[in-house]
Structure 1
Amino acid sequence: MNKNYILVFLMIVMAACNTDVGNFQIGEDLVETKSRIVMIDSFSVKLSTVLLDSIATYSADPALVGKYENETIGTTELRHYFNFDLSETSGSLTDKDILDSVTIKLSYSGYYYGDTTQVQKLQIHQLTKELAFFKNDVGQTSLVNHNSFDYETEPIGSLEFYPFPSTDSIEIRLDDSFGQELIDLFLAKSDDVSTNDKFNSYLKGFIMKAAPESKAVIGFNTSSSGIQLKLYTHRVELEKVEIEYDFELASEGTHFNQSLADRTGTDYASLFSQREELPATQTSNLSYIQGSEAVVTRIDFPALNEIYTYGDRVLIKAELVLVPSTLNDPKKLPTALNFYTSDRINQLRENLAITSSSGTSVSVAANLVEDVMYPENNYYIADISTWMQTELANNFYDTNNGLLITFPFSSLRNSSDLLILNGENSSKYKPKLNLYFLKYE
């Protein structure tokens, strides 16, 4: 039977069948009786760690603040920059308003990473340069995870607390002198508070960061008034009247998360350039993925051209298995990972996707298969058949091409999650590529 005819026929059959090869059946009346499906799992899989140059984190939700240490990858710190628009009610301030306090209110998002049983200390500093978007070489505006703005050395407010991410909110009290300065500006009808733009130029913004001893990264909502500057005053009339003026995050969406990593003394100390990946063979047979810091894992298939040494078979399915290291907290393993195509210099290209039966595009995912009793048996599995068949369409695989695997994009830019994967030379649990062929005689 002609090879091309077999391949076309199998693509039609597989479209109507379950993608689980264990359920894949071919009727004897449709296929030659001497044909059979064989599986080969000896094709090598190479893992490397890649640091993307940057990732956009403006309009971040949640705001991420804190710090944690990991023996494998080093120390990671998250800081949040933000600014405010004018309060809708600030124009009603009068000379009868007496300052009670000024605070920044933070509403928990429920996200955390690290040890939340330890005391956390947050510090608020005023920026000395106006918070605004940067323009890149092609004129696009953005704020990315490695941007920074100068700020005052001394904090304008701080708070020590035990984080309870499942509860409501916390408030950090700022210096009273700052609150009185705001009141005086409004009473004087200063030009600095006449428009949002002028207010943003006057009150340049803030940075929120954690003290060096912090052990966790905490998330705070930035939507639905999740972060507010609150000015509390009272007036003495017939009775005491308490008043609250709320300033919301700037509508431009200039708030962003900054990520700082210290990999000194780890196998990843030389991880600096996106163009140069670190093979798992040089990093204790491990590779990793990390949100906010934009670290991803690259997957290569250096021996794939050997498929053409099998002249009596046609590839019908490619199944990739990845194994999380036992260094991970099994309770924090992501349920799915996404793929992007890449080239020799590790550019993040197209999201790997397939077209569903309804005609919509669906991302190809590596889904977690969990063993609750024996976490060392956990693994991720993905069907990458469509991509691999496309790569092999011209009877040649370009080994400059590979796949980047990472968290779903929203998690990559808005979390500090960490996943460590076993490399190809791990002693027991290692990645593998299962290739299923139709063998004919």
Structure 2
Amino acid sequence: MSIALNNDNVDALNLASMDSLSVQITNLSLQHIPTNGAGAILLGRYFRETAGSVTVTPYFQVEPENYNYSDIPDDARFDSIKLVLRTHNQLHVQGDTTKRHSIAAHRLTQRLVTTNLQSGGFNSAGIPFYVQAPAIFGHQTFQLDQTPLGSLNYLPRPGSRQRLEIRLDDAFGKDLFDKMQTDDARVLSAANFAEYMNGIAVVPHEENTSVIAYNDTVRAEIHYSYVGAGGFRTSATRNLVIRDYSLKYNQYTADRSGTPFQGLSDASPVPGAQTNGIGLVQAGTGAAVRIDFPALRTFLQTSGIAINKMELEVEVQSNQIGMYPLSSGQDAPSLYLANSGGIALDFIRIPFTNEIQRGQFVAGNNTGRNARYTFNLIEYVRTVNNESISDRHLVLSFPPASLVGTANSLLIATDGNKPKIKLNILYTKFN
């Protein structure tokens, strides 16, 4: 039907709005989060009183920059070996950086390998949409030597081009240098070197208070010296670098003991009623919030109405500053469509596009107004009304790049033990 200003039946139309649909939340864990090759190396541990701690440990395989050692003189002597990390050019910090941190480098005793879900006996309903290739997932653990190769105690300087140098064990370094100097078969090819050395993990101390991003151009510098042609001792360096970035990943470990979320796992969602209405969203660990409006389908199938606008509004606890800054722009949270098992099968798009939608950030103020994110859900109407995908639930998480490559987190605000989530619907009613 057409509607015009001179329509004789204009009195039969009413424009109405509502925001009274009840909301229920469930805290769950998204599964199979691939954190290999995700750009920055994340390292550290942060603690939030309500949600517990998250520890991020980078694992990576290194190998010689090149396999030609003819430039190393026969009389050269080993001096030292150092593992070098530099802070990322795009500042990413979660937690308190005012306290000293400790980290330790460990040699892996198990080779890093990727897992192919597509050929691992999973059907398509068991593979998240963000897993497109063989991967190493953030929850995976590879064995390492419990005796560290070296450690470092330092004070973080976020915002600066900080260089961290971990002095590694001299015996380990000399053994490696001797093999290079004598053209040992174990250091003459990538395949042989991978057999000799599985890789390195940099483990943060359990009392560290922040997670910081570092460039993935990490390297181990082997320093040696020799007497040059002029009779003077000359210093030189050979480097071990990351070549295969598919074998570099960030391992996430959450400790939620003593918090309302302590029972949260892949197999055990936690209803919002058990967390006093608080919802937890974390990158890396997969903690996410399922949002249900039990009466929504019934309302949308009411005869005689047409939906003009549907907007989701989610208020969050913290503001834009502090130890846990809220994400905006490309890192702002997104909405997924996931099954009851925590498998994200699709995402909410920007209307009339195929791009994932990120929440529009509205900052809080000094008078107690919480910050919030808003989402346009007009295209979600079709999902709600589609019986064939009725088991797909609306889930608040971070967009894929942030989910797999950051340590971002947020907590949903509450009012009277109820989450401050609202669905605003503007609709036309035909009498």
TM over 0.5: yes
Q: Name whichever of 232-241 and 203-212 sits farther off.
A: 232-241
Identity %: 24
Distance 1:283 1:154 in 2: 39
| Aligned-residue offset at 1:108 | 0.5
Give the letter aligned to residue 156 of structure 1.
L
- Which letter does structure 2 place at the counterpart of 1:411? S
Structure 1 434/397 Cα, relative in aligned 2: closer, same or farther at 3 Å?
farther
Which of 55, 62, 74 does residue 33 from structure 2 map onto? 55
* Residues 334, 399 of structure 2: 8 Å contact kept: yes
Check the 8 A contact 1:300/1:399 in 2, yes or no. Answer: no
1:369 aligns with 2:362: yes
Asked if residue 100 in structure 1 is aligned to residue 82 in structure 2, the reply is no
State the partner residue of 1:240: 233
Q: Distance in 1 between matches of 2:327 and 2:213?
A: 17
Residue among 275, 280, 303 paired with 1:288 = 280
1:431 alignment partner, one of 416, 421, 427 = 421
Aligned to 2:410: 419
Q: Deviations along 1:69-105, whole A, 9 cap, x unmatched?
A: 2211112111111111222275122222222211111
Whichever residue aligns with residue 232 of structure 1, its letter is: H
- Give the match for residue 264 of structure 2: 271
8 Å contact 2:318–2:325 — kept in the other structure?
Answer: no
Give the drift of 1:377. 3.2
Given that residues 327 and 420 in structure 1 are in contact (C-alpha distance below 8 angstroms), is that contact kept between their aligned partners in structure 2? no
After TM superposition, give the deviation of residue 55 of structure 1 in Å: 0.7
Q: What residue in structure 2 maps to residue 404 of structure 1?
A: 395
Distance change >3 Å, CA 105–CA 402, structure 1 → 2: same
Q: Structure 1 residues 281, 205: CA separation in 2 closer, same or farther (over 3 Å shift)?
A: same
Larger displacement relative to structure 2 (212-221 or 369-378): 369-378
**Contact kept in structure 2, 1:101 and 1:173, CA below 8 Å:** yes
Distance of aligned partners of 1:151 and 1:316 in 2 relative to their CA distance in 1, 3 Å threshold: same
TM-score between the two structures when normalised by the length of structure 1: 0.85
Q: 1:278 to 1:99 in 2, by over 3 A?
A: same
**Is the 1:93–1:183 contact (alpha carbons within 8 Å) kept by the matching residues of 2?**
no
CA 1:128–1:346 in structure 2 vs 1: closer, same or farther (change >3 Å)? Answer: closer
Query: In the TM superposition, what is the alpha-carbon distance from 1:425 to its structure 2 partner?
Result: 5.5
State the match for 1:42 in structure 2: 20
Instruction: Give the whole-Å Cα distance in 2 for the aligned partners of 1:49 and 1:299.
Output: 9
Instruction: Check 1:328–1:283 CA distance in 2 against 1; reply closer, same or farther (3 A cut).
Output: farther
Q: 1:97 to 1:289 in 2, by over 3 A?
A: same
Residue 381 of structure 2 is matched in structure 1 by 388
Letter in 2 for 1:261: A
**Equivalent residue runs for 1:72-83 within 5 Å:** 72-83=50-61
- Provide the rounded CA distance (Å) in 2 between the counterparts of 1:195 and 1:87: 11
**Aligned with residue 115 of structure 1, among 86, 96, 100:** 96
What secondary structure, in the 3-state scheme, does the structure 1 residue paired with 2:316 have?
coil
Q: Secondary structure at the match of 1:181?
A: helix
Equivalent residue number for residue 333 of structure 2: 337
**Separation in structure 2 between the aligned mates of residue 102 and residue 221 of structure 1, nearest angstrom:** 19
Secondary structure of the residue that 1:333 maps to in structure 2? coil
Q: CA deviation at 1:391?
A: 2.4
- How far did 1:230 drift? 0.7
State how far apart, in whole Å, the 2-side matches of 1:60 and 1:252 are: 9
Q: Which residue of 1 aligns with 2:172?
A: 178
Provide closer, same or farther for how the CA distance between residues 397 and 277 of structure 1 changes in structure 2, counting only shifts above 3 A: farther
Question: Within 2, Cα distance between the matches of 1:411 and 1:153?
Answer: 31
2:113 corresponds to which residue? 132
| Residue 190 of structure 2 corresponds to residue 196 of structure 1 | yes
- Post-superposition offset of 1:422: 2.9
Partner Cα distance (1:204, 1:364) in 2: 40
1:298 to partner: Cα distance: 0.9
Task: Tell me the alpha carbon deviations over residues 141-175 of structure 1, each in whole angstroms, 9 at most, x when there is no partner.
Answer: 32111111111111111111111132222211111
AA of the residue aligned to 2:14: R
**Count of residues in Structure 1 that have an aligned counterpart in Structure 2:** 408
2:147 to 150, 154, 162: 154
Does 1:353 pair with 2:349?
A: yes
Output the CA distance in 2 between the equivalents of 1:302 and 1:68.
Answer: 36
CA distance change for structure 1 residues 399 and 196 in 2, over 3 Å: closer, same or farther? closer
Distance change >3 Å, CA 384–CA 309, structure 1 → 2? closer
**Equivalent residue of 1:413, what SS?**
helix
Describe the shift of the 1:254–1:388 C-alpha distance in structure 2 as closer, same or farther (beyond 3 A): same
Using the alignment, how far apart are the partners of 1:352 and 1:310 within structure 2? 24
CA distance in 2, matches of 1:112, 1:31: 61
Letter in 2 for 1:107: R
1:18 matched residue in structure 2: none
- C-alpha distance after superposition, 1:374-403 (max 9, x if no partner): 45332211110111144236xx79864321
